[in-house]
């Protein structure tokens, strides 16, 4: 080239040096090559754009894995990525060997690597020979570092023995990847096969239960803790003639048996077998030894984690009952789901206790915390509750005694008195199977929920006291109501409600939608609640459980067989009645607000919003009149009957045990009372006062638009 002439282009220079250019973008999955690079990888000598799959088909599979590892390492270190690549022809033979040099980069926004580099043909000595390894020492060492980095990360992330074995089976070592892998364990004085890759499952049976005294390399390694390297079949046959026939038919050419050692103890052996001869140079032995150590650590961690999970799940399950035999007149279903964190134990529980009276006690609760301490307290508290219930105490007395018990066993004895203090929420319900009557005492726990026969779902407010263990002298008042035929009672801990970013209010709305939309049996209803909140489940108590959760969950469903409950039993010609019952004591005027809310939930699908407001106003007036003008408690009964185009009827009755009958008055304009009956007469479709044997009831009726009084009366006859 004469002075002053223009410089040749880069493409011309590279072509003169038989060097091609290639560009790989993992975001698009495309590889672009120029004419020389296309020729080097066995394509026509012209520029081309290939997919990753098309490019991978031209490279040796091991070398493709090396490229990805080297690229990550080069980006992390800010260095060049150098690797040798065997180019394969259509018959699976090596066409040529090329060297790739590139400066890869990583785009965090696209989460993608981009590589721009050169390809140049090199002479590749025979794999496995000393000359071959000396020629690629620099590249091989860099590939080794990238491989060990990736292998260590993958093994560290494996959480089970099966996952560790899967990762080990997928390892592609730089330059001498094994074609068969076996992990041996030791049980007593015998060798066992934990897992394998590259063999048929039946082929390993002859090596299982092999005595450690057998003249077999894996047995020797497990016995002595020293590695065995066999570079050729002749060496294997000379050193282990007795067991050579066992290995001969696999057709391998070299073998490495390495000890799996953790904390100075050999727990087994790892076999890496090769179909081509391997000299096992110091570098290769170093890689195999490092992998064996990482594999041993991963297997040890996975085994410990699996034992821990098995122990803790067994502990938790032993603390939870099965629902036992069916209860005449009632059906039940339950779920327990531990949190996915830590030991997967916690303080949530449920119980079903047969009582001497023939009744059944339902218990659900939640001890503060998700650790072994919480699980231990839960077990003690559950036993105490069963004991108090079996003694025949009423629900309020059972919770009072349980609160004193928990307060006593959680008293701290250290410098920080609050460190070990724990409390528990609990709901205790006593059910009478023949009648469906329930008596409920509640200690800071979420309210029960009722799903009625027509699919209406209502939260059933109940009186309660503080959580157990907070105040040893606390009282727990009892709420009584009846579970009607076809209705389902749901009890749950707050883990079912407050998860996925929900609070009590929004979580309750989500559960209400699931219950109202469900049309299957009781077991599928329990599954729908769990899966609707957390997704598919995988374990079992009395039914499927979910496994990785934000909080423990206990769920208990109880239904009285009948149309609509999903128990599988039905009651013929049963009228469709929606009913709510609530008592308001003289010292509980705040429960009037609960009565209003309960009536709104009962009438959530009422056609007339104006009538709904009227009904709420009248209920408030009627209960207030009882509390103000008598010395007795008020009992509210609200029923919705009828269905179809004719509309429905709402009948509300408020009972009290007072002797004086109410009478209509004409209060002056400035009077502060005396308008209750006037409002009832003005807003109700029908009303009246009925004397009872002891006390009286005042009632009113509202007819949904399109429903006449006669039609409504026929609907409840």
Name the band, by pLDDT with cuts 50, 70 and 90, for residue 139.
low
Query: What is the number of other CB atoms lying within 10 angstroms of the CB of residue 115?
Result: 21
Q: Are 600 and 624 in contact (CB under 8 A)?
A: no
Residue 491, pLDDT score: 94
Alpha helices in 483-608 (DSSP H): 494-497, 504-517, 522-534, 591-602
pLDDT tens profile 182-209: 889 898 888 888 888 777 666 677 777 8
Share of the chain above pLDDT 90, in %: 21
**Cα separation of 269 and 136, whole Å?**
30
Select from 635, 641, 609, 612 the least CA-distant residue to 622: 635
Tell whether the model's pLDDT for residue 550 goes beyond 60: no
When pLDDT is averaged across residues 508-515 and rounded to a whole number, the result is 88
**Cα separation of 498 and 511, whole Å?**
11
Kindly write down the DSSP assignment for every residue of 455-487, as one continuous string.
S-EEE-----BPPBTT-TT----EEEEE--TT-
Q: Which of 79-93, 100-114, 229-243, 612-626 has the lowest mean pLDDT?
A: 79-93
**Tokens at residue 201, please?**
């499952």
pTM across the whole model: 0.52
Residue 11, pLDDT score: 65
pLDDT tens profile 458-482: 888 888 899 998 888 899 998 888 8
For residue 672, the 8-state DSSP code is S
Residue 133, pLDDT score: 46
Select from 49, 17, 44, 45 the least CA-distant residue to 33: 49
Largest CA distance in the chain: 127
pLDDT tens profile 292-333: 888 888 888 887 777 766 766 665 566 566 555 567 778 888
Place of tokens 């497990």: 222
Select from 560, 579, 556, 578 the least CA-distant residue to 570: 560
**Cα separation of 663 and 655, whole Å?**
16
Name the band, by pLDDT with cuts 50, 70 and 90, for residue 504.
confident
Kindly give the pairing relationship between strand 696-703 and strand 190-197.
Answer: unpaired
Task: Give the H or E element holding residue 514.
Answer: helix 504-517
Residue 341, pLDDT score: 46
**Cα separation of 150 and 287, whole Å?**
13
**Cα separation of 87 and 56, whole Å?**
10
Spell out the SS3 assignment of 85-115. EEEECCCCCEEEEEEEEECCEEECCCCEEEE
Residue bearing the bigger pLDDT, 250 or 373: 250
Q: Are 261 and 290 in contact (CB under 8 A)?
A: no
**Tokens at residue 242, please?**
């007795």
**Tokens at residue 217, please?**
């390399």
Q: What is the dihedral of CA 38, 39, 42, 47, to 10 degrees?
A: 30
When pLDDT is averaged across residues 202-227 and rounded to a whole number, the result is 85
Q: Which residues pair with 336 in a beta bridge?
A: 554
Under DSSP, is residue 434 helix (H, G, I), strand (E, B) or coil?
coil
Select from 251, 258, 257 the least CA-distant residue to 199: 251
Kindly write down the DSSP assignment for every residue of 269-318, as one continuous string.
EEEEEESS-----HHHHHHHHHHHHHHHHHHHHHHHHHHHHHHHHHHHHH
Q: Are 382 and 319 in contact (CB under 8 A)?
A: yes
Distances (CA, A) of 395 to 12, 359, 385, 400, 429: 93, 12, 10, 9, 7
Q: Are 276 and 128 in contact (CB under 8 A)?
A: yes
Q: What angle do CA 260, 291, 166 make, to 5 degrees?
A: 85
439 alpha carbon, distance to own chain's centre: 34
Q: Which residues pair with 48 in a beta bridge?
A: 33
Q: Are 451 and 457 in contact (CB under 8 A)?
A: yes
Name the band, by pLDDT with cuts 50, 70 and 90, for residue 583.
confident
Q: What is the CA radius of gyration of the chain?
A: 38
Residue 675, pLDDT score: 66
Residue bearing the bigger pLDDT, 547 or 395: 395
When pLDDT is averaged across residues 228-254 and rounded to a whole number, the result is 90
Residue 357, pLDDT score: 83
**Cα separation of 424 and 373, whole Å?**
13
**Tokens at residue 202, please?**
């039946």
Kindly give the pairing relationship between strand 180-187 and strand 265-274.
Answer: antiparallel
**Cα separation of 294 and 149, whole Å?**
11
Residue 633: partners with Cβ closer than 8 Å, 6 or more residues away: 583, 584, 585, 586, 626, 656, 657
pLDDT tens profile 19-70: 889 999 999 999 999 998 999 999 998 999 999 888 988 888 777 877 877 7
**Cα separation of 140 and 133, whole Å?**
8
Kindly give the pairing relationship between strand 457-459 and strand 180-187.
Answer: unpaired
Distances (CA, A) of 268 to 102, 226, 227, 297, 568: 41, 11, 11, 12, 54
**Tokens at residue 500, please?**
């996925």
**Cα separation of 645 and 705, whole Å?**
10
Alpha helices in 320-346 (DSSP H): none
When pLDDT is averaged across residues 89-98 and rounded to a whole number, the result is 83
Name the band, by pLDDT with cuts 50, 70 and 90, for residue 289.
confident
Contacts 24+ apart (CB under 8 A), 103-107: 103/74, 104/71, 104/74, 104/75, 105/75, 106/75, 107/27
620 alpha carbon, distance to own chain's centre: 44
Select from 566, 592, 560 the least CA-distant residue to 579: 560
Q: Are 410 and 469 in contact (CB under 8 A)?
A: yes
Name the band, by pLDDT with cuts 50, 70 and 90, for residue 605.
confident
Select from 246, 247, 287, 310 the least CA-distant residue to 149: 287
Alpha helices in 225-279 (DSSP H): 233-239, 244-248
**Cα separation of 145 and 157, whole Å?**
19
Q: Are 578 and 454 in contact (CB under 8 A)?
A: yes
Task: Give the H or E element holding residue 273.
Answer: strand 265-274
**Cα separation of 228 and 633, whole Å?**
88
**Tokens at residue 599, please?**
């009536």
Q: Order of strands, edge to edge, in the sheet holding 360-367?
A: 348-354, 360-367, 424-432, 437-443, 478-482
Query: What is the number of other CB atoms lying within 10 angstroms of the CB of residue 84?
Result: 22
Residue 307, pLDDT score: 72
Q: Are 395 and 388 in contact (CB under 8 A)?
A: no
**Cα separation of 394 and 430, whole Å?**
8
Q: Which residues pair with 141 in a beta bridge?
A: none
């Amino acid at each position: 080239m004469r002075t002053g002439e223009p410089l040749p282009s880069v493409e011309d220079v590279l072509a003169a040096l038989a060097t091609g250019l290639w560009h790989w973008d993992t975001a698009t999955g495309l590889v672009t090559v120029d004419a020389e690079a296309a020729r080097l990888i066995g394509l026509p000598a012209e520029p081309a754009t290939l997919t990753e799959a098309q490019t991978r088909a031209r490279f040796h599979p091991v070398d493709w894995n090396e490229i990805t590892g080297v690229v990550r390492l080069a980006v992390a270190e800010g260095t060049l990525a150098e690797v040798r690549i065997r180019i394969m022809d259509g018959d699976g033979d090596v066409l040529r060997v090329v060297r790739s040099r590139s400066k890869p980069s990583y785009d965090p926004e696209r989460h993608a690597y981009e590589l721009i580099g050169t390809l140049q043909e090199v002479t590749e000595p025979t794999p496995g020979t000393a000359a071959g390894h000396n020629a690629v020492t620099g590249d091989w060492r860099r590939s080794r570092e990238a491989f060990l980095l990736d292998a260590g990360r993958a093994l560290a992330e494996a959480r089970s023995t099966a996952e560790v074995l899967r990762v080990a089976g997928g390892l592609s070592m730089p330059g001498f990847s094994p074609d068969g892998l076996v992990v041996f364990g030791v049980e007593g004085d015998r060798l066992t096969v934990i897992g394998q890759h590259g063999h048929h499952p039946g082929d390993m049976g002859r090596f299982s239960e092999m005595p450690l005294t057998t003249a077999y390399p894996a047995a020797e390694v497990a016995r002595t803790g020293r590695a065995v390297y066999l570079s050729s079949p002749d060496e294997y046959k000379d050193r282990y003639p007795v067991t050579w026939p066992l290995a001969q038919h696999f057709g391998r050419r070299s073998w490495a048996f390495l000890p799996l050692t953790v904390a100075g103890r050999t727990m087994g052996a790892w076999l890496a077998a090769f179909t081509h001869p391997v000299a096992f140079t110091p570098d290769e032995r170093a890689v195999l030894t490092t992998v064996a150590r990482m594999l041993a650590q991963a297997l040890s961690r996975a085994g410990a984690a699996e034992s821990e999970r098995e122990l803790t799940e067994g502990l938790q399950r032993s603390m939870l009952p099965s629902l036992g035999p069916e209860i005449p007149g009632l059906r039940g279903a339950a779920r327990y789901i531990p949190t996915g964190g830590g030991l997967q134990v916690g303080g949530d529980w449920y119980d079903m206790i047969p009582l001497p009276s023939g009744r059944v006690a339902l218990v659900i609760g939640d001890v503060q915390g998700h650790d072994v301490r919480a699980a231990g307290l839960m077990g003690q508290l559950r036993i105490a509750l069963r004991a108090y219930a079996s003694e025949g105490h009423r629900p309020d007395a059972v919770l009072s005694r349980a609160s004193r018990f928990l307060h006593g066993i959680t008293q701290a004895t250290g410098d920080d008195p609050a460190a070990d203090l724990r409390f528990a929420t609990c709901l205790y319900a006593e059910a009478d199977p023949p009648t469906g009557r329930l008596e409920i005492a509640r200690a800071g726990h979420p309210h029960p929920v009722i799903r009625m026969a027509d699919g209406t779902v209502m939260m059933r407010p109940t009186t309660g006291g503080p959580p157990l263990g907070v105040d040893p002298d606390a009282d727990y008042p009892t709420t009584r109501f009846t579970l009607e035929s076809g209705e389902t009672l749901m009890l749950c801990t707050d883990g079912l409600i407050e998860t996925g970013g929900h609070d009590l209010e929004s979580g309750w709305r989500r559960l209400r939608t699931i219950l109202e939309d469900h049309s299957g049996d009781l077991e599928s209803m329990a599954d729908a609640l769990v899966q609707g909140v957390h997704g598919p489940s995988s374990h079992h108590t009395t039914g499927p459980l979910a496994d990785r959760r934000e909080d423990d969950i206990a769920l208990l469903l109880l239904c009285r067989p009948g149309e609509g409950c999903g128990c599988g039993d039905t009651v013929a010609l049963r009228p469709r009645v929606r009913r709510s019952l609530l008592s308001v004591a003289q010292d509980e005027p705040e429960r009037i607000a609960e009565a209003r809310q309960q009536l709104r939930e009962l009438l959530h699908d009422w056609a007339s919003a104006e009538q709904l407001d009227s009904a709420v106003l009248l209920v408030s007036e009627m209960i207030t009149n009882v509390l103000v003008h008598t010395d007795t408690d008020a009992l509210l009964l609200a029923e919705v009957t009828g269905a179809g185009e004719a509309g429905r009827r709402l009948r509300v009755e408020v009972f009290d045990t007072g002797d004086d009958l109410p009478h209509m008055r004409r209060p002056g304009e400035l009077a502060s009372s005396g308008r209750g009956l006037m409002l009832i007469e003005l807003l109700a479709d029908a009303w009246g006062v009925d004397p009872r044997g002891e006390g009286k009831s005042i009632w009113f009726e509202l007819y949904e638009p399109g429903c006449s009084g006669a039609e409504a009366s026929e609907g409840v006859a």
